[in-house]
Amino acid sequence: MSLHLIIGDKLLSSWSLRGALALDLTGAPYTEELIKLGQPDTRERLLKHSPTGKVPLLKSVHGTIADSLAIAEYLAEQFPDAGLWPKDTAARAQARSACAQMHAGFFAMRGNMPFDLSRDAPLSPTPPEVQADIERMLALWAECRAVATETGPFLFGGATLADAFFAPIAVRLRTYQVKLPAVDEAYVETVYQWPSFKAWQKAGLEEIGQ
């Protein structure tokens, strides 16, 4: 299957990271095209691929798929043996619920803690609505762990689409130096040691000054 992922800057595009991690979970080969964001011609270049004008975009034999959640579901359907969602029904339902909540919420965290792989400074002061988002996020992670049926350091044991969706949150929590309970700090470290994430992080940091 021919798969071509269109992304924004690896340093700054959290949604692009989700799409790339989802693709890496399939184990399938794919090509990648980076369109630098915030440039005079960015929107024009993106509109050549999709009317959304946003990243990520996945080009496949079945057409162009916009939006990271749609990309995730498409890949799970096309690669059923790759285990993108947990095998257990209850765990799989919780994983989908968690990803949907991430996709549709946490606006205070997103707005006040922009994704930037190079950042290393706390948010000061932390607005109450951001703190509420952080606390809800940690509770959501706990809800995932509570129904996991497999062992391992990721939310459901082994790496799944849930981890692809929450990797950018792990980045925010670390780069903004948020103090975390040990179990959540361990999960953030798991994300940072994930080979797929490490490759993305390395490439993102190399974009600085380009």
Provide the residue-wise pLDDT of the chain in tens; the chain has 210 residues: 799 999 999 999 999 999 999 999 999 999 999 999 999 999 999 998 888 888 999 999 999 999 999 999 999 999 999 999 999 999 999 999 999 999 999 999 999 999 999 999 999 999 999 999 999 999 999 999 999 999 999 999 999 999 999 999 999 999 999 999 999 999 999 999 999 999 999 999 999 977
Residues 97 and 181 in one domain: yes
Give residue 129's domain range: 89-197
Which tokens is 101 given?
């909540």
Is 34 inside any structural domain? yes
Rg, C-alpha atoms of the chain:
17
Residues 36 and 93 reside in one and the same domain: no
DSSP string, 147-179: H--S-SSBTBBB--HHHHHHHHHHHHHHHTT--
Half-sphere exposure of 27 (CA within 13 A, CB side): 8
Domain end among 55, 82, 109 = 82
Structure tokens at 1: 């299957």
Residue 205 falls within a domain, yes or no?
A: no
- Are residues 100 and 192 both part of a single domain? yes
Domain boundary among 30, 65, 82: 82
- Looking at 82, 116, 148, the residue that finishes a domain is 82
